[in-house]
Each structure stands twice: as structure tokens, then as C-alpha cells.
């Protein structure tokens, strides 16, 4: 094994990690504000990927261009789901618990419905777009990176940066952060907590939809993709710290690098176990994650 192989695996891991980060940021934002793990995140991801695919298939809209359509569309979708389905549970249980298990369960049901509706209507086959950038590469000395993969890596930073600006520089962002810190105090200051939930959920879904539209040039679309990538994003958010957006970015990159470099030393299937072991170690020794904000 040469140094070059390791460096190459490391860079591939970085790109893969960018993908993991991009799909996890929205999940972390939603948890940070609403305190509910959105198990339907994978379902939203899969539907966004399908939307982007169909836009390409029927209207020949390039996946990268479809970002501007899929983003707003999924904001409305996420907002509506939170407003009509999850909000009633909060209103019903607000006196009882801070983190209602009912809401968690509801998102599980939602994910099942989304994944199986897709299976029912689209079938289980894999569908792929043909992107003009599929064979474009960026040269970095001795190694070449595929442009489409680099774009997703970049997307993770764009989403993080966008959220940073949104959360720090706008009134809505301030409302979201204050609800995330202390919902009672925020309500006392006159913030409409439930509306903030709707908005944050919508924004979290936009983040995952943007990630989906930007990775479909190299990941084929299928109904099962949500489940597979959803599990990865659960590991990422725990790794980085539930509710932390920079944590999701760093956690994703660490997971990608560990998987990629790890598979140089152990067979591919054992690398799956590796990511789970990492997850358990974090829970045992640093439960608030790398960039933990728990309890704050």
C-alpha cells in the first residue's frame, strides 16, 4: 500500500463525507429546534431525488438547474407536513412531555408511506440521469476528482453557509435559534413557537432536498435509497452532536473518511460495522457529539 493509495482513499472519503454531511444538516437543524428526530428525512430525500429525476426526464432540466425548483417545492412540502401532521401532536402533548415519542412514531409512519408509495408507483428499479458533467474531472496533482462528487462536497458547505447566514442575520433565524435554545422563554418573548417549528421543518427539508438534487448525477434513484442514506445521516448527526449544524458537517466528513480509509484495511462489509462501532463509541464517551450543544 503506497502513500498515494491512502491519500486517494482519504480524498474519496472527503467527497463521500461531503455527501453524508449534505444529507444530514437538515436533520440536525430539525432536531435542534423541534427536538424530534425526523425519521422521514430519508423519505423526503428519496422523493426530492425522484422530483429532480422526473424534471430531467420529462423537461430535460439539468439536475443542477432543478435545485431552484426542488428547493422551494420541498419547503412547501415540509412546512405542510409539520403544520398539518406533527403540530397537532405538540399541541395535544405540550403539557406532558418535551420530546413526544408520538411525533417520532409519526415520522416513522410517514417514511413508510413515502418509501412504499414510491415503490408502488415507480417500481423498484434504479433510474439514473445522464449529466453533462458526469465525466468532467478536476485535477489535483496526481489524482483526479469527479466534478459531480466535488459539487456535492461543495453543496454541503453551501448549505451550511446559507443556514449560518439565515440563522444569524435574519429575524426568522433569531426566532429559530431562540426556540431551539428554550421554547418557553421564546414563547414568552412573543415568538410564535409552532410557526417557528413549521418554518424550521421546511428549511430542514429544503436542505435535504438540495442535497438530493445535487447527488443524483452519480447516485441512481430508487425507492430504497432513503432508507440506506437515512441510516447514514442518523449516524452522522449523533457523531457531530444532535442539533449542531457544524457538527453535522464535520460528522459527515469524519464518517466518509473512516469508511473510505477503513475499507483499505478491512473488507467492505466489515466497514459497515466500523461505522456502527464509531456510533456506539461516541454514545459511550462523548454523547453530546463532536460539536455537542446538548443541554445548551
Q: Does residue 99 bind another protein (CB under 8 A)?
A: yes
**Interaction of residue 117 with another protein, rule CB under 8 A:** yes
Question: 125-141: buried (b, 16+ CB within 10 Å) or exposed (e) per residue?
Answer: eebebebebeeeeeeee
SS3 145: strand
Least Cα distance to 222 among 130, 131, 123 occurs for 123
Q: CA dist 10 to 17, 141, 221, 264, Å?
A: 10, 15, 26, 10
In this structure, how many other beta carbons lie within 10 angstroms of the beta carbon of residue 262?
19
Taking the complex as a whole, how short is the minimal distance between the CB of residue 132 and another protein, in angstroms? 34
Span 38-97, contacts to another protein by CB under 8 A: 39, 85, 88-89, 92, 96
Question: How far is 221 from 131, CA to CA, in rounded Å?
Answer: 14
Instruction: Please tell me whether residue 292 binds another protein under the rule CB under 8 A.
Output: no
Q: Output 117 or 134, the one with its CB closest to another protein.
A: 117
Of 6-14, 57-65, 167-175, 266-274, the segment contacting another protein by CB under 8 A is 266-274
125 scored as a contact of another protein (CB under 8 A) = no
| Residue 227 sits in the site that holds another protein (CB under 8 A) | yes
CA angle 130, 135, 136 (to 5 degrees): 120
Q: Of the ranges 9-17, 48-56, 60-68, 230-238, which one interacts with another protein (CB under 8 A)?
A: 230-238
- To another protein, the closest distance from the beta carbon of 270 in angstroms equals 8
Locate the DSSP E strands across the chain.
137-140, 143-146
Provide the binding-site residues for another protein, judged by CB under 8 A: 31, 35-37, 39, 85, 88-89, 92, 96, 99, 101-106, 108-113, 115-117, 119-120, 123-124, 223, 227, 231, 234-235, 238, 242, 268-270, 272-273, 275-276, 279-280, 283-284, 287, 294
Amino acid at each position: 500500500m503506497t502513500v498515494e493509495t491512502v491519500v486517494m482513499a482519504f480524498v474519496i472519503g472527503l467527497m463521500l463525507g461531503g455527501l453524508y454531511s449534505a444529507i444530514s444538516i437538515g436533520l440536525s437543524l430539525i432536531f435542534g429546534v423541534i427536538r424530534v428526530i425526523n425519521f422521514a428525512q430519508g423519505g423526503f430525500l428519496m422523493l426530492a431525488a425522484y422530483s429532480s429525476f422526473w424534471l430531467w426526464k420529462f423537461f430535460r432540466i439539468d439536475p443542477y438547474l432543478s435545485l431552484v425548483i426542488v428547493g422551494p417545492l420541498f419547503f412547501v412540502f415540509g412546512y405542510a407536513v409539520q403544520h398539518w401532521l406533527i403540530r397537532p401532536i405538540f399541541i395535544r402533548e405540550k403539557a406532558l412531555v418535551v420530546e413526544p415519542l408520538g411525533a417520532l412514531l409519526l415520522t416513522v409512519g410517514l417514511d413508510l408511506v413515502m418509501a412504499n408509495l414510491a415503490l408502488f408507483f415507480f417500481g423498484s428499479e434504479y433510474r439514473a440521469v445522464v449529466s453533462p458533467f458526469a465525466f468532467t474531472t478536476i485535477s489535483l496533482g496526481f489524482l483526479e476528482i469527479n466534478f459531480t462528487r466535488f459539487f456535492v462536497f461543495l453543496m454541503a458547505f453551501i448549505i451550511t453557509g446559507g443556514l449560518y447566514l439565515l440563522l444569524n442575520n435574519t429575524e426568522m433565524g433569531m426566532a429559530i435559534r431562540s426556540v431551539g435554545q428554550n421554547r418557553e422563554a421564546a414563547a414568552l418573548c412573543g415568538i410564535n413557537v409552532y410557526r417557528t417549528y413549521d418554518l424550521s421543518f421546511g428549511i430542514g427539508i429544503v436542505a435535504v432536498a438540495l442535497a438530493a438534487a445535487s447527488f443524483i448525477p452519480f447516485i441512481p434513484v430508487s425507492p430504497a435509497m432513503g432508507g440506506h442514506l437515512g441510516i447514514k445521516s442518523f449516524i452522522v448527526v449523533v457523531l457531530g452532536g444532535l442539533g449542531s449544524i457544524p457538527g453535522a458537517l464535520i460528522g459527515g466528513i469524519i464518517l466518509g473518511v473512516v469508511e473510505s480509509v477503513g475499507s483499505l484495511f478491512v473488507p467492505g462489509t466489515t466497514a459497515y460495522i466500523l461505522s456502527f462501532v464509531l456510533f456506539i463509541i461516541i454514545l459511550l464517551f462523548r454523547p453530546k457529539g463532536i460539536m455537542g450543544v446538548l443541554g445548551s
